[in-house]
Amino acid sequence: MKTLTDLLCPEVPLRTGCNLPKQAGDRVMIGSNRGPVFTIVHVHGDMAWIRPLSNGQEGLVALDRLRLVETNQLN
């Protein structure tokens, strides 16, 4: 199933190539650019429920759009 971003902005590469396993509690970023950091709340199939570390809106995101954050990247 295509997302709204896939349909409206097909040139934007959101898939990260990060194939490391992700689970609840992991810190992640969306896409391959530096951006806000999220915590994975729950994983089901190929989707993750994420919550921003700062204030903001929670959401569902495909796991292949998330990349794990190294602890030294948080500073």
Phi, psi (5° rounding) for residue 6? -60, -40
pLDDT reported for residue 47: 92
The pLDDT value recorded for residue 49 is: 94
Q: What pLDDT is attached to residue 70?
A: 74
Domains of the chain and CATH, by start: 4-74 (2.30.30.30)
Which residues of the chain fall below pLDDT 50? none
Rounded to whole angstroms, how far apart are CA atoms 74 and 49?
A: 20
Of 44, 18, 17, which is closest to residue 27 (Cα–Cα)? 18
Q: What's the gap between Cα 46 and its chain centre?
A: 12
**pLDDT of the residue at 43:** 96
Residues 3, 64: Cα–Cα separation, whole Å: 13
